[in-house]
Chain A
């Protein structure tokens, strides 16, 4: 009886992880040089990002944007987040736009002009990004 009573009050608490490693699929549009567009479904494995292979920046951003935790995305910039345009910046913009949540821009640590660009991308029309001859549009 006593044993049962003790069992009733002892509970194992698991610490909640600080960072979510969850991923979320999304769709972007790839605009080809002839003006045609292609929907790119990016599943959690990120394999579809290889389609942007000629642009290392865009393909890396494509993979990073699968993460739902803005801190995990931002950390990939290794301290350059607010200094140069990194794939992490684009990935934060992608994630914020796709989640329709401009708070992601702040949560990811963006500041100044890059924060403003992120906000604009969330509330404005479908933003496009180009690099190395590849253009993507976030619906």
Chain B
């Protein structure tokens, strides 16, 4: 599942992605330590624990980090740099997604463009994932 929105004005939801999720093993980043941009992804909610965030030089490189992540035509076609935020399973989408009733999401990966467009992918498979 993919939720896309631009904060604060635009908000939209896009179609589904795939399968299997695994709990991330990396140590979470302290709430006060996350990048300001992670807030756009919902890190302002203390329930949403940021496991890792990092920059990628081009959106299409997201699959180097998450090779089993499903299709995302917008990213595949983009050479733009992006900021990536990975959340611990149990992401609470309340207040950050139009699907307000959906909470406790797993495999949540959020990408932010340089123009602050935010895309949240859920149920991202962590098979073969490399999380800096």
Contact = CB atoms under 8 A, between A and B. Distances in A.
Q: Do A and B interact with each other, yes or no?
A: yes
Interface of A: 18-19, 70-72, 74-83, 106-111
Interface residues of B, number: 24
Given A79-B69, A79-B70, A81-B67, A74 B128 contact: yes
10 contacts: A71-B64, A71-B67, A74-B68, A75-B61, A75-B63, A77-B67, A79-B70, A82-B19, A106-B127, A111-B20
Given A75-B63, A79-B63, A111-B68, A106 B128 contact: yes
Given A83-B71, A109-B68, A78 B128 contact: no
B63 A110 contact: no
Contact of B132 (A18, A70, A77, A81): A18
Contacts of B69: 79
Given A109-B67, A111-B20, A78 B76 contact: yes
B24 interface: no
Contacts of A111: 19-20, 68, 125, 127
Interface of B: 17-20, 60-61, 63-72, 75-76, 125, 127-130, 132
Contacts, number: 71
Nearest to A107: B128
A104 to B, nearest CB: 10
Residue of A75, A79, A108 with most chain B CB atoms under a 10 A cut-off: A79
A53 to B, nearest CB: 25
A108 B128 contact: yes
A80 B75 CA distance: 13
